[in-house]
Copies of this chain bind each other. A is one copy, B any other.
Amino acid sequence: MDNQTKILSSALELFAQHGYDAVGVQRIVAAAEVTKPTLYHYFGSKKGLLLALLESRFSDLFQALEEATARHGDLPERLSGVVSAYFYFAKKNPDFYRLQLSLWFAPAQSEAFGAALGFSLRQQEFLEKVFVDAAGQNKNMEGQHQAYAATFLGMTNTYIGIFLNGFAELNQSLIDRTVRQFLYGIFR
């Protein structure tokens, strides 16, 4: 494992456990067994390190999301694919998902939130597109894309949060329940 990778994985572990603000670069380079200039050589700043970390881990999720909706299908099928991609990703990267949840809900003016904002918006916009496409098939859901996307993401994250705390399993039946529950809320 080269130094760049060691820094990234040490940073992920420490950020996920203690939070971005509570972890100093000193602690990261000690855990990665490198020195500070090495970190600054690769990432330029502490925020640059976080951005690189988010970029490297999120790329898998976004790719999975694209694939999940690429095959055609109606709205329920697509949403199942999306939830399935999220659940699979969260199970495979629990530490990172914890971190991204904490960034999602971080105070708006914090540096960590600012770094994660772009990735949060990409998720929101991706889901809005799913609902906009579906609106062509279903007239009574126009003008609600933002709220639908936010609700759906919120429900998905709720179940993932419960899984991360050990109170549920992320299996096929929970995927089905999530989609049915969401759609029931939408269509009265």
Contacts and interface: CB of A to CB of B under 8 A. Distances in A.
A108 B162 CA distance: 14
A37 B125 CA distance: 48
B107 A18 contact: yes
Interface stretch (A1-9, A45-53, A64-72, A180-188): A180-188
A111 B22 contact: yes
Contact of A18 (B16, B110, B161): B110
**This chain: copies in complex:** 2
Interface residues of A, number: 41
Interface string A62-98: 0000000000000000000000000000000000001
Interface of A: 15-19, 21-22, 98-99, 101-102, 104-112, 146-147, 150-151, 154-155, 157-159, 161-162, 165, 167-168, 177-178, 180-182, 184-185
